[in-house]
Amino acid sequence: MALDDTDPEADDKVFDDKGVKIFIDPLSLNYMNGASVDYVDDTLGGGFKIENPNATSSCGCGSSFKTEGSGGGCGSGCGCHG
């Protein structure tokens, strides 16, 4: 996940929330169903925080997770717990 100012890919789903355009590729969309995403900026820096009711484990920093049947790790350097 990242802030970006490019156009979406042809198969991306595009959402608009409070004037912020959100592009999600079809594969990631399956994992984001029911999730809330926020951008937080605190003393440790800024980044996305994901709250996903489907997550079976998550990383300590709140920026990645895995769901039932996703296999493997969270895909982030901070490591998953669960």
Instruction: Decide: 65 and 78 in contact? Cβ < 8 Å.
Output: no
Segments making up each domain of the chain, as ranges: 13-81
Per 3-state DSSP, the chain is made up of helix, strand and coil in percentages (nearest 5) of 10, 40, 50
* DSSP secondary structure letter of residue 6: S
Best CATH choice for the domain 13-81 from the list 3.40.640.10, 3.65.10.10, 2.40.50.100, 2.60.300.12: 2.60.300.12
pLDDT along the chain (82 residues), means of 10: 88 92 88 84 83 70 56 49 48
Q: Token pair of 63, please?
A: 């920026």
Q: pTM score > 0.85 for this model?
A: no
Cα angle for residues 49, 54, 58 (degrees, 5° grid): 45
Tell me what pLDDT residue 8 has: 93
DSSP-H helix ranges across 1-82: 26-32
